[in-house]
Structure 1
């Protein structure tokens, strides 16, 4: 007698996670040598990228702006992904690891991936596939010389709830973007007169803080054109409250020119509460008091 195999019941698909509860990954590139969308000379020249003065400057901003802005978040339910180069000089690699450990504390809250030269999008895809297989993830772009307001993650998750209410079938319409257009420029260039200065700036779909909600990890925040993709796939643009600070200095990866539309910003109490890292410790934007 031939025994026929019985059909197996189809495996149940995991229930969709509500948008406001999906993982949030903050994506930072630190002196990564590979195709990454940067247009600076250093992005194409290993010697310039790993120039000691440049590395020291970027590590300082990463330690005094980027990391403190994440430590100050009112909601800490996010993971910090740092993509760097396998060939990063050992002293800088050690200092990078030490800075992350000191700021984040728990090693499970961040990941440093030192990759060989490759497209940055491929390195991020591999990481997301490994850590979040088959999951919808919110990816936030944050360069190593920029910072986020202390309520950024909290407000981002609030925006996720609003998106769910406005687009009930959002899971079928991914990727989707969230862009905060208003923030501050932190002028640190040697040519700037006097102490570092803050300016109010507005750039819709700026890469800084741009958030991409996606389930296909091949379509990630390092694989898109930040000014075109949100318009193509759909986005929520928020322009009422400043949510980021952009470092402007002599080692920027993309040249930033001051505009006459920029308005000087003084350090009031609300600003100090939402961007505390600018006014404590190193006092990048001026002393407290």
Structure 2
């Protein structure tokens, strides 16, 4: 069964942001502001790609949705980061309605639209456990009768870590978050054109059966000053403790994220 991941790398969609902008050009200026985009490139390299490169099952497609007008220097840096990752595909797209564009991009990535597939999604500062793709295929077999009887089924992995990376290294805290985007996957039946991006992540249980697994940490939720959810007024700061030796070992073993590499990337 094909496994497809989607990451919107600072894509200036119409909608899909909690931060409001009057025009697409305003949104582009916000997204490509030097301090912000530098932080996103670093988190993408240090966190997102670390987990994906270390997958125990390398048979997946990772679609990176970008603005067709992504400035050339940024596009070159992004391509350099994934040059040795055969699963990664960069898809440039004109700004358009958030959910519709993501649905189109995911459907284009399906090698056989008549066959079932598994889809997952993440932001450019999130990642998944090194056995995530392997687990998806195994867990679909566990719930195969449910998938056979439904057009859509959500697999929810609710245990993970909130992590902040910086030049000092890693701050982190374990968490349990039900139905969060980076800890979810969706089984899409053959012939169904809907995608994981057609649904608000917190509302999937209103539309389809869901199965929650809580046995081991399966995701990292990236946290930083540039998170979309952090831009609203009166948002309370989240203070994460510096990662101790035990936490650092879990982050390395489960996600391929190491403090020396984080320090190198953020200290550059």
Q: Indicate whether the TM-score tops 0.5.
A: yes
Q: Which of residues 24, 38, 57 is equivalent to 2:3?
A: 24
Asked if the contact 1:30/1:83 (under 8 Å) is kept, the reply is yes
Q: Which of residues 157, 170, 173 is equivalent to 1:196?
A: 170
Could you tell me how far apart the structure 1 residues matched to 2:236 and 2:197 are?
A: 23
Asked if the contact 1:122/1:218 (under 8 Å) is kept, the reply is no
What per-residue deviation string (whole Å, max 9, x for no partner) do you get for residues 143-193 of structure 1? 1111111111122222111111xxx25233121001111110113489xxx
Asked if the contact 2:165/2:262 (under 8 Å) is kept, the reply is no
Q: Say whether residues 1:234 and 2:234 are aligned partners.
A: no
**What SS does the corresponding residue of 1:208 show, helix, strand or coil?**
helix
Number of positions where the alignment pairs a residue of Structure 1 with one of Structure 2: 252
Q: Say whether residues 1:154 and 2:134 are aligned partners.
A: yes
1:223 maps to what in 2? 198
Q: Say whether residues 1:276 and 2:256 are aligned partners.
A: yes
TM-score, structure 2 as length reference: 0.84
Pick closer, same or farther for the CA change 1:123–1:89 going to 2, 3 Å.
same
Asked if the contact 1:206/1:226 (under 8 Å) is kept, the reply is yes
Pick closer, same or farther for the CA change 1:131–1:146 going to 2, 3 Å.
closer
Could you tell me how far apart the structure 2 residues matched to 1:267 and 1:122 are?
A: 43
What pairs up with 1:100-111 in 2 under 5 angstroms? 100-102=82-84, 104=85, 106=86, 109-111=87-89
Gapped regions of structure 2 (runs ≥ 5) = none
What's the CA shift for 1:81?
Answer: 0.5
Q: Which of residues 48, 68, 78 is equivalent to 2:50?
A: 68
What's the CA shift for 1:246?
Answer: 1.2
1:34 maps to what in 2? 13
2:79 maps to what in 1? 97
Gapped regions of structure 1 (runs ≥ 5) = 1-21, 285-289
Could you tell me how far apart the structure 1 residues matched to 2:193 and 2:199 are?
A: 10
What per-residue deviation string (whole Å, max 9, x for no partner) do you get for residues 265-289 of structure 1? 53324443112223342248xxxxx
TM-score, structure 1 as length reference: 0.78
Could you tell me how far apart the structure 2 residues matched to 1:278 and 1:244 are?
A: 15
**What SS does the corresponding residue of 1:101 show, helix, strand or coil?**
coil
**Greater length-normalized contact order (CA 8 Å, ≥ 6 residues apart):** 2
1:51 maps to what in 2? 33
- After TM superposition, the structure 1 stretch with the greater mean CA deviation from structure 2, 121-130 or 229-238, is 121-130
Q: Which has a greater percent of helix?
A: 2
What's the CA shift for 1:50?
Answer: 1.6
Regions of 4+ moved over 4 Å: 41-44, 256-260, 262-265
* C-alpha RMSD of the superposition: 2.6
What pairs up with 1:85-164 in 2 under 5 angstroms? 85-102=67-84, 104=85, 106=86, 109-132=87-110, 133-164=113-144
Asked if the contact 1:39/1:254 (under 8 Å) is kept, the reply is yes
